Structure 1
Amino acid sequence: MSRTYLVTGAASGIGQATAERLRSQGDRVIGADLHDADIQVDLSTAAGREELIARAGELSGGSLDGVAAIAGLAAPIAATVAVNYFGAIGTLVGARPLLATSPAPRAVAVSSISSLQPADTALVELMLAGDEAGALALAEVLAAGADAHQIYASSKQALSRWLRRTAASADWAGAGIALNGVGPGVVITPMTRDLMATPESVAALLEMVPMPLNGPVEPEKVADLLCWLLGEGNSHVTGQIVFIDGGYDALTRSDTVW
């Protein structure tokens, strides 16, 4: 039976690949992005998040079978916090009542292997506390300094921790809603192509981010994993951050996590 999904970030990259994959299997996709989408909104703002949920409710007829919170930024700027964390949480929490009407509701978000890398503890805690104003103010300070790169890692660590602590709650698992995330390694997208323009640059990248199994991953491969997590066949996997990273997590954390 055809299912109805909301996919954010649907105009490019992993979001576009996921939307195309779902449509190819006969499902209905409501895509959201800044442009070229069914719902054109800015998830860095509270108003954009509210409009997303309102329009998703209208277009879906009040019921969704799955939500994929994929929209994100990788730049060392405060807006990355607004979109990657508060935008993703706003999408998932806002859509939960629409999911609750489905016989097999599923939700996923895209984290990153960066969630395992150095992050700013204070920024992460502000995000988890729901203090968007405070988090954005601190991110602005970080953006002007040597630790600007930690903004992205912090946003993904906070998102992963929220997913882990929320998935088994009464509102999610207790309501039959599977909630998971995926953690890609280096993904081959327009954003990363300049980093992989030559064999030498690819080798240098993989020295910093080792992915021994087949190297950088295509967005379509990440989409395949997301679509399985979103599907009816996923009856019991919840609260997981599934790394699709060519072995990076296994190499870097080894026996510290099992």
Structure 2
Amino acid sequence: MRTYAISGAASGIGRAAKELLEADGHRVIGIDLRDADVIADLSGAQGRASMVRDVTAISGGRLDAVLAVAGLASNSAATARVNYFGMLATLEGLRPLLEQSDAPRAVAVASMAVMFPHDAELAAAFEAGDEAAAVARAEVLAKEEGQAIYATSKRTIARWVRRAAPSADWAGKGIALNAVAPGVIATPMMADSLASAENRRQLESMVPMPLGGIAKAEDVAELLRFLSSVENGHMCGQVVFIDGGADAVMRGDTIFPLT
């Protein structure tokens, strides 16, 4: 039996992963705003600190895996706070507990939206660790239509995973750190966007998913189960797209140029 901590465990991908791992006989410490073992608001420093404190106490100071799933998709500064700073605080804050495991694993949930247009100023604030500047820029972007806040937060966390994973703090401590990049998933967060046939058609035109179309949260949970398992002993810094083929269609050969 392994001990997991999962943020965003009350719904969507986080809940599906929790149920799958518990069915396998593992212990799961769920983190969320409600209906969880640890109630914490990851949009602020106080909630992040209390999350680390409470998970440490409940786990006895040892975790085998962390799944950083919690995220928002609203066009708001809260999305910047939770998707980047909240996720980073979860991974970095719980890393010392992973160091106590014989087979430690960590997985962040990014998005295929890493391929969408991003905002360079917001990305720079994220990478500088300047939350005040990131929030200020997000508040400006929130007045415009689009998904720049969401796409930038997911793109930047994926970049962080790529950089951190092979470092002394992660690979050097034997911790396999990776990320997943889901396409359109039928979760409560997407309920409004999937509410009508017209909305679904628009989404499918933006995100071409030739293999199976819109996926279920359980599909992503299966991938999270493998990446956080003992069997995954050598993947490091990968951003694994689980998007029905959207990445292959949209980027094609551009990521493997021959000239």
Task: Say yes or no: does 1:75 pair with 2:41.
Answer: no
Task: Select the residue among 252, 255, 258 that pairs with 1:254.
Answer: 252
**Residue 185 of structure 2: SS of its match in structure 1?**
coil
Closer/same/farther in 2, CA of residues 69 and 257 from structure 1, 3 Å limit: same
1:86-165 matches, within 5 Å, as 86-146=85-145, 148-165=146-163
Give the secondary structure class of the aligned counterpart of 1:191.
helix
Residue 63 of structure 1 is matched in structure 2 by: 62
C-alpha separation in 2, matches of 1:196 and 1:49 = 31
TM-score normalised to the size of structure 2?
A: 0.96
Measured in 1, the distance between the counterparts of 2:178 and 2:230 equals 14
Cα distance, 1:94–1:257 mapped onto 2, change above 3 Å = same
SS in 2 for 1:195: coil
Point out where structure 1 has 5 or more consecutive residues left out of the alignment: none
Counterpart Cα distance in 2 of 1:47 and 1:38: 17
User: 1:185 — aligned with what?
Assistant: 183
Letter in 2 for 1:19: K
d(CA) in 2 for partners of 1:68 and 1:113?
Answer: 18
Cα deviation, 1:147-176, whole Å, max 9, x if unaligned, reads x52000010011000000110000100110
Gaps of 5+ in 2: none
In structure 1, distance between residues paired with 2:136 and 2:180: 28
* Shift of residue 238, structure 1, vs aligned partner: 1.2
1:195 alignment counterpart: 193
1:199 shift after superposition = 4.6
Deviation at 1:204, TM superposition (A): 3.1
**Structure 2 CA distance for aligned equivalents of residues 208 and 123 of structure 1:** 23
| Counterpart amino acid of residue 179 in structure 1 | L
Q: 1:118: how far off?
A: 0.1
Distance across 1 between alignment mates of 2:128 and 2:103: 30
Query: What RMSD, in angstroms, separates the aligned Cα atoms of the two structures?
Result: 1.1
Report the residue type matching 1:84 in the other structure: N
Deviation at residue 201 of structure 1 after TM alignment: 4.0
Residues 72, 189 of structure 2: 8 Å contact kept: no
**Residues 67 and 106, structure 2, Cα contact 8 Å, conserved in 1:** yes
State yes or no: 1:36 paired with 2:43: no
Q: Which residue of 2 aligns with 1:212?
A: 210
The corresponding residue for 2:5 is 6
Cα drift, residue 209 of structure 1: 1.1
CA distance in 2, matches of 1:142, 1:44: 18
Equivalent residue number for residue 240 of structure 1: 238
Q: 2:168 aligns with which of 167, 170, 174?
A: 170
**Secondary structure class of the residue paired with 2:186:** coil
Q: Normalized against structure 1, the TM-score is what? A: 0.96
Mapped to 2, the partners of 1:238 and 1:231 lie a distance apart of 13
Tell me the SS of whatever aligns to 2:193. Answer: helix
Q: Could you list the per-position Cα deviations for residues 24-67 of structure 1 after superposition, in whole angstroms to 9, with x for gaps in the alignment? A: 00000000000000000100001111111111110000100000
Q: Which amino acid is the alignment partner of residue 72 of structure 1? A: G
> 1:122 & 1:40 partners in 2: Cα distance?
32
Query: Could you say which residue in structure 2 is the equivalent of 1:17?
Result: 16
- Using the alignment, how far apart are the partners of 1:133 and 1:201 within structure 2? 34
Looking at structure 2, the residues matched to 110 and 53 of structure 1 have their Cα atoms a distance apart, in angstroms, of 19
